[in-house]
């Protein structure tokens, strides 16, 4: 059996050693690497391209989420934390699991099993990504105190709101994501979503028409939405013109 490459990222050195001991004790076939902060974690991920990362959500230097945003190839991740505060955000990042410290050996074993299922040949039937694309077909968004699943193809556009982003759907509903619009852009299929302004991403399938008003170009979407195309994003629109 091929050994997986596994990275542990946590500021507590004793915890890192104990975690490696538990993983070895459970017979999980892995070569373990370890680091103590977000900057190191990002370097290790980009250099090693590990199969699995066990990473604290609150790493010094860069948070676990900032590391995943900046990684060239995003690995499967089990996120660790001292409180449930980041659980919802972990779902948005499609984390394999979310472990509250301290956790038992049995709970760790369950998380490792989930990571194996995620990487198995049949994994495509178990998570929310489209076959052969790596891009999600459904996403989990906050609605009150719950997370609700919405199809990506029902999203008409995204609108930046400072460090957050509003997600708008064809049925007129909107959801606030704690991710910035640049973070979301990297997670979307560019065959369907294009950036037309520094504050807007639109679903190409819902563009109804383009029109000029004096010197500005506007995109018309359903629900009477009209968005000004930014000058720097004009080439993306021209690619759609035949």
Both tokens of 157, joined, read 């556009």
Percent residues over pLDDT 90 in the chain: 50
Question: Residue 117: pLDDT band by 50, 70, 90 thresholds?
Answer: low
**Residues 43, 47, 49: CA angle, nearest 5 degrees:** 110
Average pLDDT for 120-133: 40
pLDDT digits (tens, 9 = 90+) for 39-87: 999 999 988 889 899 999 999 999 999 999 888 878 889 999 999 888 8
In this structure, are residues 34 and 44 in contact, taking their beta carbons and an 8 Å threshold? no
Poorest-pLDDT segment among 1-15, 129-143, 162-176: 129-143
pLDDT value at position 133?
54
- Check pLDDT > 70 for residue 239: yes
Instruction: Kindly give, in sequence order, each residue whose CB lies less than 8 Å from that of residue 179, ignoring residues fewer than 6 positions away.
Output: 92, 164, 165
Q: How many residues does the chain have?
A: 242
| Burial degree of 160 (CB within 10 A; 0-12, 13-18, 19+) | middle
Per DSSP, the three-state class of 20 is helix
Question: Residue 38: pLDDT band by 50, 70, 90 thresholds?
Answer: very high
In this structure, are residues 136 and 130 in contact, taking their beta carbons and an 8 Å threshold? yes
pLDDT digits (tens, 9 = 90+) for 102-114: 999 999 998 888 8
Q: How far apart are CA 138 and CA 69, in angstroms?
A: 19
Q: What does pLDDT average to over the chain? A: 86
- Check pLDDT > 60 for residue 122: no
């Amino acid at each position: 059996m091929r050994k997986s490459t596994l990275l542990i990222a946590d500021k507590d050195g004793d915890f890192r050693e104990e975690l490696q001991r538990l993983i070895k004790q459970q017979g999980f076939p892995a070569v373990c690497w370890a680091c103590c902060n977000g900057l190191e974690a990002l370097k290790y991920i980009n250099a090693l391209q590990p199969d699995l990362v066990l990473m604290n959500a609150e790493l010094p230097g860069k948070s676990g989420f900032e590391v995943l945003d900046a990684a060239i190839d995003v690995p499967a991740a089990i996120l660790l934390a001292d409180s449930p505060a980041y659980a919802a955000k972990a779902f948005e990042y499609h984390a394999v699991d979310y472990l509250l410290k301290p956790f038992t050996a049995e709970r760790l074993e369950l998380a490792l099993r989930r990571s194996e299922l995620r990487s198995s040949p049949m994994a495509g039937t178990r998570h929310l990504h489209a076959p052969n694309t790596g891009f999600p077909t459904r996403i989990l968004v906050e609605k009150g105190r719950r997370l609700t699943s919405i199809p990506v193809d029902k999203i008409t556009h995204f609108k930046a709101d400072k460090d957050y982003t509003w997600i708008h759907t064809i049925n007129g509903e909107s959801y606030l994501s704690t991710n910035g619009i640049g973070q979301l852009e990297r997670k979307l299929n560019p065959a369907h979503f294009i950036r037309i302004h520094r504050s807007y991403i639109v679903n190409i399938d819902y563009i109804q028409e383009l029109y000029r008003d004096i010197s500005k170009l506007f995109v018309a979407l359903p629900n009477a939405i009209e968005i000004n195309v930014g000058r720097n994003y004009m080439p993306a629109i021209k690619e759609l013109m035949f």
